[in-house]
Amino acid sequence: MYKIAVLGGSDTVMGFRALGLDTYPVGNSDEAKLVFHRLAAECQDVAIIYIEETLAPALSAEIEKYKNSVRPAIVLIPGRDGSTGQSLTALSEAVKRAVGTDILL
């Protein structure tokens, strides 16, 4: 059975823990890089990794490696303080790649 992981600040990931997802609270971008690499490269049973938007700039090179991969799917999510717009932009780009046009206009 595949797992869903949530990577972000402790305030962000706590709600996901209540839903039964595997949560990985991190305190800074260096810690996030280590955890992300372990989840994406070493854990073959992780199908989806939700990443808090605020960590995305620091993880951009790592996220880019998995952009066209089936597994793990990388999904940006807003943090506790709200959205920065990165998650909607990433979702829109994924839809364009999959469908060929932006249907989320």
Measured CA angle at 61 (ends 58, 66), to 5 deg: 120
How confident is the model over 14-63, as pLDDT tens digits? 889 989 999 999 999 999 999 999 998 887 899 999 999 999 999 998 88
Written in H, E and C, the secondary structure of 22-37 is: EEEECCCHHHHHHHHH
Alpha-carbon distance of 16 to 8, in angstroms, equals: 11
Domain hosting residue 17, numbered range: 3-99
Is 105 domain-assigned? Answer: no
92 domain residue, yes or no: yes
Asked if the structure places residue 104 within a domain, the reply is no
In a domain, 39, yes or no: yes
CA angle, 3 as apex, 69 and 97 as ends, to 5°? 25
Q: Taking 70 as the threshold, does the pLDDT of residue 94 lie above it?
A: no
How confident is the prediction for the chain on average, in pLDDT? 83
CATH code of 71's domain: 3.40.50.10580
Q: Please tell me whether the overall predicted TM-score, pTM, comes out greater than 0.85 for this model.
A: no
